[in-house]
Each structure stands twice: as C-alpha cells, then as structure tokens.
Amino acid sequence: EDQVTQSPEALRLQEGESSSLNCSYTVSGLRGLFWYRQDPGKGPEFLFTLYSAGEEKEKERLKATLTKKESFLHITAPKPEDSATYLCAVQAPRGGSQGNLIFGKGTKLSVKP
C-alpha cells in the first residue's frame, strides 16, 4: 500500500534556528513528490516538486531534497512567518494519467521570535 509518513508531527524552533522536516514514502513507481505549505483555515499552497533521487529545489529559506525512500525539507534561519503546517504528498502511479496525491499528516512548524 502506498504510504507517506512525516516526522516530527510538531516542531518548535527559535527564530534563526535551522532544522529539517522528514517525509518517508512507500510507493510503487514514484511519479513526483510535492511539498505544500498550509496555513490555518487555508488550502495547501504549492512549494516544490521533486521527481528523481538526488534532485534539490530551493526557495528563499527552504530547500527540498529527495532520495529513493525519503525527502527532507530544510529550513535555514527560519522566521516567525515560516510558521505553518508543511505537507508532503506523492503522486500515485495508478489510476490513469492524472495521478491523485497521497498526503502525509504534515509537520506543524512554530517559529518563535
């Protein structure tokens, strides 16, 4: 069964304290791994797509990396505005050409000033 597991469930950081969020996945034939940010009461906001092991993407203080079994979202010198829930999702290989997303439970990040 295709699965996505994120850890930790919650992470509290001081402003400027760098850290990493983990996303482990089990899927037969990865088509894409996605990172989204979700603020309270809002929908997931797209951050990155990764397709193959070794790939890296960066955006401001965020950097996403991918191996054959997991992905990391590295946050460098976070600011309070980075506080949000970060969701990892994989694109299912079955179901035709579209591919619905399978989500993890997310990591709730709190950054204190």
Partner 1 sequence: EPEVTQTPSHQVTQMGQEVILRCVPISNHLYFYWYRQILGQKVEFLVSFYNNEISEKSEIFDDQFSVERPDGSNFTLKIRSTKLEDSAMYFCASHRDPNQPQHFGDGTRLSIL
Whole-angstrom distance, CA of residue 110 vs CA of residue 85: 9
With CB under 8 A, what is the number of residues at the site for partner 1? 26
Q: Which residues pair with 46 in a beta bridge?
A: 36
Question: Given the rule CB under 8 A, which of 18-26, 53-61, 76-84, 93-101 is the region that contacts partner 1?
Answer: 93-101
As given in the structure block, the two tokens for residue 1 are 């069964």
Nearer to partner 1, 89 or 111 (CB): 89
Whole-angstrom distance, CA of residue 63 vs CA of residue 93: 25
> What do you get for the CA distance between the two ends of the chain, in Å?
41
User: Does residue 87 belong to the site contacting partner 1 (CB under 8 A)?
Assistant: yes
Nearer to partner 1, 83 or 99 (CB): 99
CB of 14 to partner 1, least distance (A): 26
Which three-class secondary structure state does DSSP give residue 40?
A: coil
Residues 16-45 interacting with partner 1 (rule: CB under 8 A): 32, 34, 36, 41-45
Max intra-chain CA distance, the chain: 46
User: Does residue 97 belong to the site contacting partner 1 (CB under 8 A)?
Assistant: yes
Q: Which residues pair with 66 in a beta bridge?
A: 71
List residues binding partner 1 (CB under 8 A): 32, 34, 36, 41-46, 49, 87, 89, 91-92, 95-106
